[in-house]
């Protein structure tokens, strides 16, 4: 994901990539790493030194949740706006970053998903929740994804639960433990991890005599670039933290 987004940013006209940080490929030029020509920016394993040396306006983070929180705190304290695509960050941690952003007057965007189509899928699911009493979420990702359920699934469940009363799931005798999936915000969430998948999710709503399925499929990581560029271009206009790309798309205006 990081390489794909870096390639896209390097090819964007109004973006200048000034630094790159990773634990591997240290010392390698990011242009060469992403299949482009040499860009003169080499990978470092020290985020603090890169931020201090390059003084960027925005830091893009696709790491893991434990690292992303500390990365964001340091960036915000340095006046750098984080745009975070890392999933697995808790609501408590998001609130902590929000308070720090307001204190430092620095914008931040945390987006469980940068795909515009996925954002619309979540938005449509939120609207459908007003009319259906029950829903379950099935999300599928590649087998290298670390966290389960996905951040998109959790965000979807939060949006649905905000529009409906929490309904207790019917009791089922699981002959195999976990067959009914995890329960979050009153609904079952099922995670599938398979090679060949990228990012897919469907939300199935049920009521007497009918089912409604809202589904989105990401077939290439290229789908995330337009949303990432939107967040990068908007984040410095913010005076605090925004959680979810839908808040930058004007869906709730």
pLDDT for residue 117: 95
Q: What is the DSSP letter of 147?
A: S
The yes-or-no answer on residue 141 being catalytic is: yes
Domain with CATH 3.30.360.10 in the chain: 116-219
Q: Do 34 and 63 form a contact (C-beta atoms < 8 A)? A: no
Share of the chain above pLDDT 70, in %: 99
pLDDT for position 221: 86
In the sheet that holds 241-243, the strands lie side by side as: 58-61, 81-84, 108-110, 241-243
State the Cα–Cα distance between residues 77 and 18, nearest whole angstrom.
19
Q: What is the mean pLDDT of residues 199-227?
A: 95
Active-site residue, selected from the candidate residues 98, 144, 145, 234: 145
Q: What is the pTM of this model?
A: 0.79
Say which residues have a Cβ less than 8 Å from residue 108's Cβ, sequence separation at least 6: 72, 76, 81, 82, 83, 84, 97, 98, 101, 235, 238, 240, 241, 242
Q: What is the pLDDT of residues 55-112, one digit of tens each?
A: 999 999 999 888 999 999 999 999 999 999 988 888 899 999 999 999 999 999 999 8
Q: Which residue has the tokens 């699911």?
A: 125
**Cα–Cα distance between 196 and 60 in angstroms, integer?**
26
The pLDDT of residue 118 is above 80: yes
- How many whole angstroms from its chain centre is CA 36? 26
Give the separation between CA 230 and CA 251, rounded to whole angstroms. 14
Read off the pLDDT of residues 3-31 as tens digits, 9 standing for 90 and up: 888 888 999 889 999 999 999 899 999 99
Which residue is catalytic, options 39, 73, 141, 234?
Answer: 141
CA pair distance 26, 45, nearest whole angstrom: 6
Judge whether 201 and 23 are in contact, CB under 8 Å: no
Q: Concatenated DSSP letters for 6-53? A: HHHHHT-TT-----EE-SSSTT-BHHHHTTS---S-BEES-HHHHHHH
pLDDT above 90: residue 128: yes
CATH class of the domain defined by 116-219: alpha beta
39 with 33: CB under 8 angstroms?
no
Angstrom distance (rounded) from CA 146 to CA 169: 27
Residue ranges of the chain assigned to CATH 3.40.50.720: 2-110+222-248
**Superfamily for 2-110+222-248?**
NAD(P)-binding Rossmann-like Domain (3.40.50.720)
Identify whether the C-beta of residue 25 lies closer than 8 Å to the C-beta of residue 3.
Answer: no
């Amino acid at each position: 994901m990081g390489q794909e987004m870096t390639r896209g940013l390097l090819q964007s006209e109004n973006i200048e990539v000034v630094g790159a940080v990773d634990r591997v490929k240290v010392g390698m030029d990011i242009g060469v790493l992403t299949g482009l020509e040499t860009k003169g920016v080499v990978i470092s394993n020290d985020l603090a030194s890169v931020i201090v040396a390059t003084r960027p306006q925005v830091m893009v983070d696709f790491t893991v949740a434990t690292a992303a929180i500390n990365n964001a705190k340091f960036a915000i304290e340095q006046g750098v706006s984080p745009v975070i695509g890392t999933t697995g960050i808790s609501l408590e941690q998001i609130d902590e970053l929000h308070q720090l952003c307001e204190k430092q007057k620095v914008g931040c965007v945390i987006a469980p998903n940068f795909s515009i189509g996925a954002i619309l899928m979540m938005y449509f699911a939120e609207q459908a929740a007003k009319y259906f009493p029950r829903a379950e979420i099935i999300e599928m990702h590649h087998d290298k994804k670390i966290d389960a359920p996905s951040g998109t699934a959790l965000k979807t469940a939060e949006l649905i639960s905000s529009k409906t009363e929490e309904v207790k799931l019917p009791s089922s005798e699981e002959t195999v433990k976990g067959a009914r999936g995890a329960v979050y915000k009153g609904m079952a969430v099922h995670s599938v991890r398979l090679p060949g998948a990228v990012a897919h999710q469907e939300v199935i709503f049920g009521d007497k005599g009918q089912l409604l399925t809202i589904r989105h499929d990401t077939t290439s990581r290229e789908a995330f670039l337009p949303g990432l560029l939107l967040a990068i271009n908007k984040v410095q206009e913010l005076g605090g933290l925004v959680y979810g790309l839908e808040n930058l798309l004007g869906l709730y205006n």
